[in-house]
Structure 1
Amino acid sequence: MMQRRHLLGAAGLLAAPAVAWAQVWPTRPVTLLVPWAAGGGADTVTRIFAQGLERELGQPVNIVNRTGGNGITGHAAIAHAAADGYTIGTGTSEFVNFRTLGLADFGPETLDLLSRLATIPAGVTVQAQGPWRDFAGFAAALREARRGQITGSGVGTGGSWHLAAAGMCRALGLEADRIRWIPSNGGAPALQDLVAGGIGVFTGSPIEAQSLAAAGRVRVLAIMGEARLSTMPEVPTMREAGLAWSYANWFSLVAPRGIPAPVRTALLAAAARAHARAEVQEQMRARGIVPVWDGPEAFAGFVAGFGETSTALLRELGLARA
């Protein structure tokens, strides 16, 4: 009996710090790192979500943009932060491909994958004064054009919107690199290049192109999502246009690996409640962003499938280094 009591007492002492962690966290502001610049898709999703997270935690959530290295700098900062629950981050699809592209020894296992937060579908956007009035016309021109004759942009080489273009070309029965990719620092400069006639197509988010479309300077021909955008209901999906291809960039909640289990549990519960708040859902949908909360297990499975698809496309593009 004495031995049993001794063991129970020891177990209680070992469990006490874990219980204390859960009871006191958070006692100070939480930092949420974003690997991309302010004003972009990742930043927008993060700021909307952070409003709900602040209310659920009862502490400020400070957003810090850590840019550079095609997303490597910010993602690495998240992975290397103290694993205490006070520094978390927004992960974007690029971190899945860092190793494949030979950019860094960094993969999904480097981070604690908590959940997706949102998706933003790709699209096909062209000059308003150009010859293509609908996706069928653009697809026909792409089939007839020489390899590389039509140029596209929206992100750096091998990035999300480049993969969207490559997958679309493959779905049309063409080479993955039928569209010659012109790297850019984001959607805004790429769209300006499109308006100026420097590129033929922008395969980034139609949301970024919305103001230019409203001004009659560009035309969005199709959405690569599973459903039409509420903010652009007149634009058909690619599936409606007859092509079995969809692609959406995604944004997720990630953290350093090794956060104490009680804190991780509390963080996940608060984040799920924050994501489900009406004002968070409404603000995302009002911008054409699709809210998603799938949790750690489903998110890990999604990432594995995404990695297989993106690696195959990067190999066809001749960009895979690993």
Structure 2
Amino acid sequence: MRVTRRSLAALPALIPALASAQPAWPTRPVTLVVPWAAGGGADTVTRFFAQGLERELGQPVNVVNRTGGNGITGHAAIANAAPDGYTIGTGTSEFVNFRVLGLADFGAENLDLLSRLATIPAGVTVQASAPWRDFQAFAAALKEGRRGQLTGSGVGPGGSWHLAAAGMTRALGLEADRIRWIPSVGGAPALQDLVAGGLGVFTGSPVEAQSLAAAGRVRVLAVMAEARMTTYPEVPTLRECGLDWVYANWFALVGPRGIPAPVRAALLAAAERAHARTDVQEPMRARGIVPVWDGPEGFARFAAGFGQTSAVLLRELGLAKA
């Protein structure tokens, strides 16, 4: 084909026509993968966000729980999905630590970090029939008991709620592994174990314990937040109890690397609009979930700093392999 000045002059008019010939995204349902069990904190955040995203996209957004391997199964499913924008997921703090824990050669660089969606503070939740009426009594029992006497759960070894427990016991002047950790695929099953008497403490989110607390089956002794939670206004923070320890888990929108730039831009724009919707933010806040949107650059900086802090605790627990 001979290129002439006339053909070059026609290009600006031709480009919009070519672009319009490409199918718009999305033209079919989008899958949102959650690496943890239904009913837990990650699942709760995801389902609120998915409702808003569905309205913004005008396509169904199907939430799929892919549990197993301390979160590896679900995170790997997101990372290995076709990079076409139709399979994305909720990343949780665990993926930052997979390599340090020696669980998988997997880290933040394996995912497209789009933005954090929310944070949820950890707490100290016990069975309603437990002898501790407040955190001070619980802390005294931890100090008086032997190492490993009290069991805790909420996630796999080295996961978010395990780090919450480790940081709390270190702040008490005890060993990081003072609480013997029982692996779990998520907060919901761990809470059922707590109610059944198989666990001593749940250091996951009080958000996950809300219905059980309302039913009088568990008792939240303290929250690891900067301030009291609106959903538990009567429950003190650890700092109010004299302990300098704060911990919050985080949940983020991630995808496989290599999503085409136009699709990624459309996804980010729709996701940001969905996150800002009142019908997404209000239900989160009503449950003690703190909505966060920091975008790709802000999230990448946060994840790097979080990984450094977590590595210190993992070494204290004797779990670091790298």
Structure 1 residues 293 and 29: alpha-carbon distance in aligned structure 2, compared to 1, 3 A threshold: same
| Corresponding letter in the other structure for 2:163 | L
Partner of 1:114: helix, strand, or coil?
A: strand
Partner of 1:220: helix, strand, or coil?
A: strand
| Corresponding letter in the other structure for 2:126 | V
> Gapped runs of 5+ residues in structure 1?
none
Partner of 1:24: helix, strand, or coil?
A: coil
The corresponding residue for 1:286 is 286
1:17-74, Cα deviation, whole Å (9 max, x unpaired):
9955998222222222222232222222111111111111122212222222222121
Range with bigger deviation, 10-19 or 260-269 = 10-19
Q: 1:96 offset after TM fit, Å?
A: 1.0
Partner of 1:206: helix, strand, or coil?
A: coil
CA distance in 1: counterparts of 2:21 and 2:99, whole angstroms: 35
CA distance in 1: counterparts of 2:311 and 2:222, whole angstroms: 25
1:187-226 equivalences under 5 Å are 187-226=187-226
Aligned residues: CA RMSD: 2.7
Q: 1:195 offset after TM fit, Å?
A: 3.2
The corresponding residue for 1:174 is 174
Structure 1 residues 61 and 170: alpha-carbon distance in aligned structure 2, compared to 1, 3 A threshold: same
CA distance in 2: counterparts of 1:178 and 1:309, whole angstroms: 20
Q: 1:167 offset after TM fit, Å?
A: 0.7
> Contact 1:149–1:179 (CA<8 Å) still a contact in 2?
yes
Q: 1:5 offset after TM fit, Å?
A: 6.3
The corresponding residue for 2:153 is 153
Partner of 2:132: helix, strand, or coil?
A: coil
> Contact 1:21–1:262 (CA<8 Å) still a contact in 2?
no
CA distance in 2: counterparts of 1:313 and 1:13, whole angstroms: 59
The corresponding residue for 1:43 is 43
Range with bigger deviation, 125-134 or 155-164 = 125-134
Q: Percent identity?
A: 81
CA distance in 1: counterparts of 2:247 and 2:158, whole angstroms: 14
Q: 1:224 offset after TM fit, Å?
A: 0.9
Range with bigger deviation, 207-216 or 254-263 = 207-216
CA distance in 2: counterparts of 1:137 and 1:219, whole angstroms: 13
CA distance in 2: counterparts of 1:21 and 1:44, whole angstroms: 38
Structure 1 residues 51 and 189: alpha-carbon distance in aligned structure 2, compared to 1, 3 A threshold: closer
Structure 1 residues 37 and 125: alpha-carbon distance in aligned structure 2, compared to 1, 3 A threshold: closer
1:107-160, Cα deviation, whole Å (9 max, x unpaired):
000000000111121100123333322112222322233222222222222211
Pair 1:79-2:79 in alignment:
yes
Structure 1 residues 130 and 29: alpha-carbon distance in aligned structure 2, compared to 1, 3 A threshold: closer
> Contact 1:19–1:262 (CA<8 Å) still a contact in 2?
no
Pair 1:92-2:92 in alignment:
yes
CA distance in 1: counterparts of 2:9 and 2:15, whole angstroms: 10
Partner of 2:118: helix, strand, or coil?
A: strand
The corresponding residue for 1:245 is 245
Pair 1:297-2:269 in alignment:
no
> Contact 2:119–2:248 (CA<8 Å) still a contact in 1?
yes
Structure 1 residues 89 and 18: alpha-carbon distance in aligned structure 2, compared to 1, 3 A threshold: farther
Structure 1 residues 112 and 21: alpha-carbon distance in aligned structure 2, compared to 1, 3 A threshold: farther
Partner of 1:208: helix, strand, or coil?
A: coil
> Gapped runs of 5+ residues in structure 2?
none
1:44-123 equivalences under 5 Å are 44-123=44-123
The corresponding residue for 1:321 is 321
| Corresponding letter in the other structure for 1:64 | V
> Contact 2:39–2:188 (CA<8 Å) still a contact in 1?
no
CA distance in 2: counterparts of 1:284 and 1:18, whole angstroms: 42
CA distance in 2: counterparts of 1:80 and 1:17, whole angstroms: 33
The number of residue pairs the alignment matches comes to 321
TM-score for both structures, normalised by structure 1: 0.90
TM-score for both structures, normalised by structure 2: 0.90
Partner of 1:222: helix, strand, or coil?
A: strand
Pair 1:32-2:40 in alignment:
no
| Corresponding letter in the other structure for 2:297 | E
Q: 1:77 offset after TM fit, Å?
A: 1.4
Range with bigger deviation, 256-265 or 184-193 = 184-193
The corresponding residue for 2:134 is 134
> Contact 2:37–2:186 (CA<8 Å) still a contact in 1?
no
Partner of 2:105: helix, strand, or coil?
A: coil
> Contact 1:29–1:86 (CA<8 Å) still a contact in 2?
yes
Structure 1 residues 28 and 217: alpha-carbon distance in aligned structure 2, compared to 1, 3 A threshold: closer
Range with bigger deviation, 144-153 or 285-294 = 144-153
The corresponding residue for 2:227 is 227
The corresponding residue for 1:256 is 256
